[in-house]
Amino acid sequence: MTRGLNEEFIHDLMAGSLKPLYEEIREDDTLDLQIRDNYLNIYYRGGSILKLTKVGNTAIYLTDFDANYLYEEEQPLIRHKCIEDEKSLYGWISLLPGLKRCMDKFFHRHPKNEREFAQNFVRENNRTKIIVPGPDYFICDVEYSFTVPGAKGQFDAVAVKWDSTAVARKNPRGLRLALIELKFGDGALAGKAGIEKHITDAEKFLANYDQSGFRAEMKTVFNQKRKLGYILNRKDIESFSDEKPEYIFILANHDPASTAIKQVLSKIEEPSAFDLRFARASFFGSGLYSQNVITLKDLKAML
């Protein structure tokens, strides 16, 4: 699967048949747009509220809402399975508030704290206008799944490290890639989906995946998101460097009194395929700044 939208899809969003829906989504900061393989996922509180897929060379777009968020009495809400005319277009626009309410009720009963935190994290690093010139990382993509020999996994986010100094922001070439894993609470640090397992999978990914193709994919996604207004930066990416990436763990809501993180880190050695890093909050915010992205050695010393 390759991330990216064709030019006709982008035109329909910005100036064509989908423009009213696109503007409704773009002007709602509780919604997040993510680019997939010529389709979009629109997220609300970390859950997909709308999947929008272009049908071949037609002007029709398939629409999908995860029925798991609906209770039996709410099923009739979904009246249109595609957007093919103004009636179905405005039908979906009018439906969004009701679907949000359905998802609010679902998340009240089945909390998804990590996913919700992740969506807020993306917004703060990509689209928060009051942080000028912004943090040092932009989030290109989220939930990037991969399968390679010996490993099947997913990066919570893929980012570009682009320092926020005036000089650095003028240079769109030779930028560094960063992989990001988010762990919410100390219960997520160990086990089958813990830090150690993610590190092992990431090493196999970098050893067996087409890295030049991966970088080209992230360049496309970043530039298309910037064009659509979902990354607030003045320049497109022109190239990534061949430098090994950072792999950053964000440990949200760690309890300082817990010894769980010490036990996990005691088993980890410095990997060779990437630079292992851990992020600290900047005075309780979610903006990712290079000064607060520290090494394994420094984290162990802090603890």
For residue 75, the model assigns a pLDDT of 66
For residue 76, the model assigns a pLDDT of 63
For residue 1, the model assigns a pLDDT of 56
pLDDT tens-digit series, residues 162-171: 999 999 999 9
For residue 128, the model assigns a pLDDT of 83
The ranges of the chain with pLDDT < 50 are none
DSSP code per residue over the chain: ---B--HHHHHHHHTSTTHHHHHHHHT-TTEEEEE-BSEEEEEETTEEEEEEEE-TTSS-EEEE--GGG--GGGGGG---SEE-SHHHHHHHHHHHHHHHHHHHHHHHHS--HHHHHHHHHHHHHHT-TTSSS--SEEEEEEEEEEEETTEEEEEEEEEEE---SHHHHT--SSBEEEEEEEEESGGGSSSTTSHHHHHHHHHHHHHHS-HHHHHHHHHHHHHHHHHHTSS--SS----B-SSPPEEEEEEET--TT--HHHHHHTT----SSSEEEEE--STT-----GGGEEEHHHHHHH-
For residue 125, the model assigns a pLDDT of 95
pTM of the model: 0.94
For residue 131, the model assigns a pLDDT of 66
For residue 285, the model assigns a pLDDT of 85
For residue 73, the model assigns a pLDDT of 65
For residue 218, the model assigns a pLDDT of 98
